[in-house]
Structure 1
Amino acid sequence: MAENSKIEWTDHTFNPWIGCTKVSPACDGCYAENLMANRYGRVEWGAGEDRQRTGAANWRKPIAWDKAAKEAGARPFVFCASLADVFDNEVDEMWRSDLFKLIEATPNLIWLLLTKRIGNVIKMTDPARGCRILPPNAAVGATIANQPEYDRDRMKLWDVKEVCGPLFTFGSFEPLLGRVILDKFAPDWIITGGETDQGSHKARATDPDNFRYLRDQSRDLGRAFFMKQMTRKAPIPADLLVRQYPEAA
């Protein structure tokens, strides 16, 4: 994995636009804000701030990836919006429609749409509201940092699975900020990892046994488990170096 991305669980990263608002404890050390707002001064982070759409050359890249995938007989992953949120309330609906058209035009790619606003997905893909439906080669994931977020959002993600029919669902338990107890409504793919330092924000440590607990529950529930990194990218213990992918992929 990570052919054209530094993120271990994907092959490519594509950003249709840049900018977001913090809505979760997981956002406290947002690498996207540190990179695009604090370091490069490209956008301002927060509610009411403009999101910046990326250029035409960037939007052509997935077409080339799709062509290469078709020739290779492969279906690589594309993590969409590492510097934004596809289901952000402050993004122009036409931008999202354009993105879904691009996803539909690249059927040899599996698009990973990770959001911190999982409650928006159904309404933002509802044709009765004039929205474009979720493309069949898209998977939907929710960022879940702790037990309260899991309890709040697991059924929202399950409803997305039932209503919108994504290729599969996934949860990004990164940064994992405490022990999380899963249940039968857990997403198909459990991705987890520790936090890294971002500017003035110092990484919050995670007990390795909390990762092990997620790993063991994933196994027992028949979910794929992917251990991305330890806190501050410390070496991953051998027993935790498990990197599985969902069967639907």
Structure 2
Amino acid sequence: MGVKSKIEWTDNTWNPVSGCTKVSDGCRHCYAERMAKRLAGRCGYPAHDPFSVTLHPDKLYAPLHWRKPRRVFVNSMSDLFHDDVPDYFLDEVFGTILACKVFKNEPDHIFQILTKRPERMRRYFTSSSPSDLLQRWAQTMKWVAMVEDPDVLFSELVFSETCHDWDSNGRNSSGSEYKPWGYTNKLFPLPNVWFGVSVENQTTADERIPLLLQTPAAVRFISAEPLLEPVSLRWLAAWDGKASNPQSSMTNEYDGLRKLDWVIAGAETGHNARPMHPDWVRGLRDQCQEAGVPFFFKHWGKKEAGRLLDGRTWDDMPPISAK
């Protein structure tokens, strides 16, 4: 079984990595750091420095054993794209996610990955071709993911998925030409992964969201928690590649990029939590409603209980088969 989560927008957490370092003001009262101190010397957390970045290879393949489809928050106790997480370990994480997709029919697990380091995320997914990434991920599962036919390796199964433009019935109905690793569109971007960035203010939104939009992804989202000031989102509507963004002076650099698919907002929790003004979260909600983007309000934080915003609960999410 996975670790059930109290986080309102997910079902389970999966932590193949723990530990992190602070990169911006939103990290000041990090809940993961507080939790890691409680776990010092237990559950794989180092006794002397429990929040140091630590790899947990023994947890890599846990999702392969979860039969019931679920939403999985990847690394609630860390940042998967921290510089101290080597590329080979990222390959293993995404190898597991790829295996979950290849072995099971939709709907399947949805892996929700949230980072404050989108520059590393973008670099990882764009410095190699889709076929190279798929081959690397498949190789990590070579002796882990077992195929029904004992004479077929998992890497060979993934290879076969990319040789023709197969339809949903497994037929080459389009008459596509045989091209080894030539048809990656059904597996890349990974359709069972949602990528998001954490933003707490306008500065981090302006820095991180464009990098997220430049990263290949089936679904892109932001988590504005803790929300520390009003944030104007300039990425809720897809631009046509010609006109400048009507909500800002930005012009050509970001034209034609895809839009955000989901917005989460919430206040800070824990000791010394900083308050969130209701108008800040209303502003995000109103921008989402105008653009037709799902909006999820998580909570008011320590200062006020509950999830109601103007008399209702906002828990909209992208459809599982959004992309």
1:170 maps to amino acid: F
- Give the drift of 1:217: 0.5
Pairing of 1:195-206 with structure 2 (within 5 A)? 195-198=268-271, 202-206=272-276
Alignment partner, residue 53 of structure 1: 55
1:149 and 2:204 equivalent? yes
Higher fraction of helix: 1
Query: Shift of the alpha carbon at 1:159?
Result: 1.0
Q: Give the partner amino acid of 1:14.
A: W
Alignment of 1:28-47 (within 5 A): 28-36=28-36, 38-41=37-40, 42-43=45-46, 44=49
TM-score calculated relative to the size of structure 1? 0.84
* RMSD value, Cα: 2.4
1:95 and 2:99 correspond: no
Contact 2:116–2:198 (Cα < 8 Å) also in 1? yes
Alpha-carbon separation, structure 1, partners of 2:81 and 2:189? 12
Alignment match, 1:82? 76
Task: Give the CA deviation at 1:135.
Answer: 2.9
CA contact (8 A) 2:55 2:85 kept: no
C-alpha separation in 2, matches of 1:211 and 1:14? 28
Q: Distance in 2 between matches of 1:113 and 1:39?
A: 24
Matches within 5 A, 1:207-226: 207-226=277-296
Residue in 1 aligned with 2:230?
A: 179
Higher mean alpha-carbon deviation, 130-139 vs 27-36, is at 130-139
Secondary structure class of the residue paired with 1:229: coil
Q: Does 1:193 align with 2:266?
A: yes
Q: Which residue of 2 aligns with 1:136?
A: 191
Is the Cα–Cα contact under 8 Å of residues 116 and 208 in structure 2 kept in the other structure? no
Q: Could you report, residue by residue, the CA deviation over 1:161-220 in whole angstroms, capped at 9, with x for unpaired residues?
A: xxx2x120010100000100112356211001111114xxx1000001111111111111
Q: Which has the higher contact order (CA 8 A, sep 6+)?
A: 1
- How many residues of Structure 1 are paired with residues of Structure 2 in the alignment? 229
- Residue 238 of structure 1 and its aligned partner are, at CA, apart by 4.7
Secondary structure, aligned partner of 1:127: coil
CA deviation vs aligned residue, 1:19-66 (integer Å, no higher than 9, x gap): 111101111011111111x322234377xx4x222252x33431122x
TM-score by length of 2: 0.65
Q: How has the CA–CA distance of structure 1 residues 152 and 45 changed in structure 2, closer, same or farther, with 3 Å as cutoff? A: farther
CA distance in 2, matches of 1:241, 1:218: 15
Once residues 55 and 137 of structure 1 are traced to their aligned partners in structure 2, the CA distance between those partners, rounded to angstroms, is: 21
- In our comparison, the structure showing a higher alpha carbon Rg is 2
> After superposition, where does 1:92-131 map in structure 2 within 5 Å?
92-107=86-101, 108-125=108-125, 126-127=127-128
Which structure 1 segments of 5+ residues have no match?
70-75
Identity %: 34
- Match of residue 218 from structure 2: 167
Q: Offset of 1:154 from its aligned partner?
A: 1.9
